[in-house]
């Protein structure tokens, strides 16, 4: 049962093959047994989860037509405020914060009848590419416990990969859904900025953060996105646009050349190699093999260029810390969260609470952000980075005049060893070299499994034009109908 997709589990619940209580208990038992080694969950509350499962079973028993997620257990990243649940954002600063309200994403899953299995571990305030900055300790990759799962949504990725949950939510500020999806052999989707509400999602960089689904297949991600997406008047960046069914295109029959006429853009910047940031030959070989499979499915490829791609990392690491320094100023030890036990006056309380409550990576980004926003440096750094951001977005606009979808590697390597990059922040930041530009432009992007190198999974990144989530999911689904990489499970966990 645990290897079934979300849609298959939904069918099993509808056919009374299993109850939501039984299914939820099955996952809770696996979490209790396997999470101590993986550290994928921060908070699990069996009583709350089983109460939701019983309510879902009663709803189905009443004869009311149930939705596809009614009774489905899901893991929620601990960045989403969840009423009555500890919501820590992976930080000591929020180690005692029990949210008094639900984020919009949580509200929508609750309304759909889904069950919350628990809150997953994450890099502190979503700042990291390896899930090693969490106050609650590093998450381990189920494919190799000595390796990182990627970040910042590493807890969600590890939970789904280890079959502790059928699917999960994540957030993506610079690749934090796609990169862990690639390193853990999952499908992960970052929607167009504004498609999913940010209300109740603890902010890192407000103009970049976006929530999205993580699952084992494009079909599962489509089902989750159908619930997550939609206008929210409480979020000023939420887009008021017609509701879409992201699963609709997936129903078309397979066979033949289902992607005939699709033009895939291959940026020359994605396939070059440099000493510090180029894609490893093993990953590049798998990506090229996946593109060959797409050609067999009827797609044609064209070479494109994203000339300002090389500027995405430096631009991101000016803009994101600047916004973080503003967003995290609210954590001051006064209203909620951690407060230093001993202090002399108000200023001393602020200083000690923040010094003790924040981890090293968060402090580093706050300091960088405060510096680039300070008088005399704003124009030289922050404003210049925003101009570069516009150039990057314009490159994508030009590229999509030549193609329908852009493809390339998600991550330049497979999962690296725990601690391998901890002493070199710049090397760590380059883990997101292929994903960051998508966030700067506000585009949708996803990662899908495309094979293994040295027994570790690699991901193929798909980038679409604005609001092209349905097309991306369809393109991913056709590949997954022709291959079985996404069905592979870590040894001993299937």
The catalytic residues are: 77, 152, 176
Task: Tell me the three state secondary structure of residue 424.
Answer: coil
* 486 neighbors 448 (Cβ within 8 angstroms): yes
In terms of Cβ atoms closer than 10 Å to its own Cβ (0-12, 13-18, 19+), residue 355 is exposed
In whole angstroms, give the CA distance from residue 494 to residue 485: 14
Give the separation between CA 171 and CA 176, rounded to whole angstroms. Answer: 6
Sequence-separated (6 or more) residues with CB below 8 Å from residue 141: 147, 148, 149, 150, 158, 161, 183, 184, 415, 456
Residue 349 CA to residue 345 CA, distance in Å, equals 6
Tokens of 67: 């939705």
Cα separation, 6 vs 221, whole angstroms: 9
DSSP secondary structure code for residue 251 in this structure: G
Q: How crowded is residue 299: how many other Cβ atoms within 10 Å of its Cβ?
A: 24
* Placement of tokens 């300002």 in the chain: 308
State the first-to-last Cα distance of the chain, in angstroms, to the nearest integer. Answer: 10
Joined tokens for residue 217: 């297949």
Say how far apart CA 486 and CA 437 lie, in whole Å: 25
Contact residues for 165 (Cβ-Cβ < 8 A; gap 6+): 27, 73, 74, 75, 117, 159
Neighbours of 78 (CB within 10 A): 29
Neighbours of 124 (CB within 10 A): 27
Residues in Cβ contact with 479 at an 8 Å cutoff, skipping those fewer than 6 apart: 290, 293, 294, 297, 448, 460
């Amino acid at each position: 049962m645990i290897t079934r997709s979300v849609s298959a589990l939904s069918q099993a619940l509808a056919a009374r093959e299993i109850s939501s209580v039984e299914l939820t208990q099955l996952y809770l038992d696996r979490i209790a047994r396997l999470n101590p080694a993986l550290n994928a969950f921060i908070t699990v509350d069996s009583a709350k989860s089983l109460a939701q499962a019983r309510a879902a079973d009663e709803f189905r028993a009443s004869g009311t037509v149930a939705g596809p997620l009614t009774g489905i257990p899901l893991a929620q990243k601990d960045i989403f405020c969840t009423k009555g649940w500890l919501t820590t954002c992976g930080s000591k600063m929020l180690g005692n914060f029990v949210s008094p309200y639900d984020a919009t994403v949580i509200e929508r899953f609750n309304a759909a009848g889904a069950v919350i299995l628990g809150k997953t571990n994450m890099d502190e305030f979503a700042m990291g590419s390896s899930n090693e900055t969490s106050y609650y300790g590093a998450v381990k990759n189920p494919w190799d416990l000595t390796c990182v799962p990627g970040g910042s949504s590493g807890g969600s990725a590890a939970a789904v990969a280890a079959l502790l949950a059928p699917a999960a939510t994540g957030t993506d500020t610079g690749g934090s859904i796609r990169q862990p999806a690639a390193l853990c052999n999952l499908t992960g989707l970052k929607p167009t900025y504004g498609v999913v509400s940010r209300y109740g999602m603890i902010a890192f960089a407000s103009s970049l953060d976006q929530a999205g689904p993580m699952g084992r297949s494009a079909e599962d991600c489509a089902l989750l996105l159908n619930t997550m997406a939609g206008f929210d008047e409480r979020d000023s960046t939420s887009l008021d646009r017609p509701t879409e069914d992201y699963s609709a295109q997936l129903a078309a029959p397979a066979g033949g050349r289902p992607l005939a006429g699709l033009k895939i853009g291959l940026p020359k910047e994605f396939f070059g190699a440099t000493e510090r940031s180029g894609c490893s030959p093993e990953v590049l070989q798998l990506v090229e093999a996946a593109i060959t499979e797409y050609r067999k499915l009827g797609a044609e490829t064209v070479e494109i260029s994203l000339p300002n791609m090389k500027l995405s990392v430096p631009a991101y690491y000016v803009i994101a810390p600047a916004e973080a320094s503003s967003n995290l100023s609210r954590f001051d030890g006064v209203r909620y969260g951690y407060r230093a036990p001993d202090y002399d006056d108000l200023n001393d309380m602020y200083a000690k609470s923040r010094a003790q409550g924040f981890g090293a990576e968060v402090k580093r980004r706050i300091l960088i952000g405060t510096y680039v926003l300070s008088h005399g440096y704003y124009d030289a750094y922050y404003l210049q980075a925003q101009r570069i951001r516009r150039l990057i977005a314009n490159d994508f606009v030009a590229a999509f005049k030549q193609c329908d979808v852009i493809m390339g590697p998600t991550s330049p390597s497979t999962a690296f060893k725990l601690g391998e990059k901890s002493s070199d922040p710049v090397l760590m930041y380059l883990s997101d070299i292929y994903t960051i530009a998508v966030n700067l432009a506000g585009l949708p992007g996803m990662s899908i499994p495309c094979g293994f190198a040295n027994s570790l999974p690699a991901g193929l990144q798909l980038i679409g034009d604005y609001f092209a989530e349905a097309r991306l999911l369809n393109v991913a689904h056709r590949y997954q109908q022709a291959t079985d990489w996404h069905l592979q499970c870590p040894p001993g966990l299937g």
